[in-house]
Structure formats: structure tokens, C-alpha cells
Structure 1
């Protein structure tokens, strides 16, 4: 906004707008001191849009009616990514990271399940071997008992 040499606004309408802008900025700053999720990116433009409304097509605010966006910003202004696109890119990046973590977690779970199955198979194999040895020892014991009984009771 234009001001006189003494710093006062040129018109009462300009003074009113400047006061609204200051109030909105103070509200944003107060909210930011309480809420850490307030996004300060492009905050001045958001405040201006709230007070004055959106820019008119093809014009640059505060530059007069004869200046359009290409004249003011140049033809390369499209190279700057708007904050919404940045946010969307960040969200997509986080989604990709979540997918990678899920894939990694699924792989780890599969590996752990395979290890558990291998350990269960080894345990079953050991148990079968122990049962076989037990049965073998039982047979040997029975055989020895039979031999012992034969020596105590010789045939007549």
C-alpha cells in the first residue's frame, strides 16, 4: 500500500485495509505460537487473499492495472512449484516411504516365518530321532530281559 511521506496511508480505505492485514497477521502468529502445525509458507499471500480476495485474472496486485503476470514475473514464473504442489509431493514421498516400509516389513515377516518353519522341522526331526533311539533301547532292554530270564530258568 502506498503511504504519504509521513508514513500515514494515502486514503482511509487504504488505512482500513492495512489494519485488517495487521489483524490477520497477528491472528496467524498467535495461532502459530499455540499450534505447531500452522504452515507459514506463503502466509502473506494467504492473508492478502483473505482481506482483498483473490487476484483478478492476468493482473498483479499492488502493481496497477497495466501490469500483467508475465510482465511482472517474467515468462519463467511457472518454474516455481506452488506450495500445494510441494505439499502434494511431500505427501507422495511419505506414501512411498510407507509402502517401502510395508514391503520391508512383509519381507522380514516372511523370513521370520521361514526360519520358524525350519526350526519346527528341525525340532520334529530331533523328536523323531529321539523316539527311534528310545524304541531301539526298549527293544534291547526287552532282549536282555529275555536272555536274563533264560539264564535263570534253563530249559530242562
Structure 2
């Protein structure tokens, strides 16, 4: 039987988009999908404009939520990982190493140079560091099910 932490690792490894849950200064929620690269299942990198709503939200409220799942599976067959995290712009002094991590999941023609991620460029590199991971547990799961779908905290 597959262990819960292994399910989380597989979901993170086999999917390329995650959904960020952010909130503005007044607490108004916003969710958005972003292409990501994971590093060690705890650090998640994405490129975005600092003028987008989710980037502006991260600037004022760095505490975010993340969901990663495969939306192509049949109904009732989904696996998902949920995370709480802290997010921020990658500082310029860490940009070279962080951009190499982000680019590691991209085809060569899509890779972005660190210089393109600094002002006056249009985009920046962001990083979220997860503090908690949970997976989706189906209600009928023979080992962890509770009758209704739920989440199970895992350590990665």
C-alpha cells in the first residue's frame, strides 16, 4: 500500500501547475494557477509580474495556501496536495541559484535568464516555502477513510 507521504511526493513530481491562494490587505481571497518548479518538496518557484493580483497580495500578506492536483483524472480518482506556506520575491543575491532551480523543469527554449527577473524587466521569480503538507483522502479509503473526503497531514 502506498504511504501518504509518497502520494504527496508523486503529486508534486508529476504535475506542473499549482494553485496559489492569496489574500489582499483586507483579507479578500484570490486564487490563481501558476507553472512551478519544486525543490525538495518544500520550496516552490514560479515566475510572475509583480503587478498581478496574486503578486501584490504576496507583497502585503506573505502567508499563502497551495493546492497541486491532476485535473485530468476521472471523477473520484483525484489525488491532491494542500500546503500552507510563506511566499516572497526571491532576493537578488539568491537569484542565480533560484533561477537555475526554476529553469531545471523547463525546456531549453523556455528558460529565463536571471537578468530578465530583475528591474526593469517585467517578471520576477517568487518562492513559497511550505510549512505544512496534507493530502486528499477519499472517504472510502480502506486505511484512512472517514466516510467523507478529508485531508491527512504528511511530513515530507
| Range into which the TM-score falls when normalised by the shorter chain | under 0.3
As a proportion of its length, which structure holds more helix? 1
As a proportion of its length, which structure holds more strand? 2
Question: TM-score w.r.t. structure 2 length?
Answer: 0.15
Question: TM-score w.r.t. structure 1 length?
Answer: 0.15
| CA radius of gyration, larger in | 1
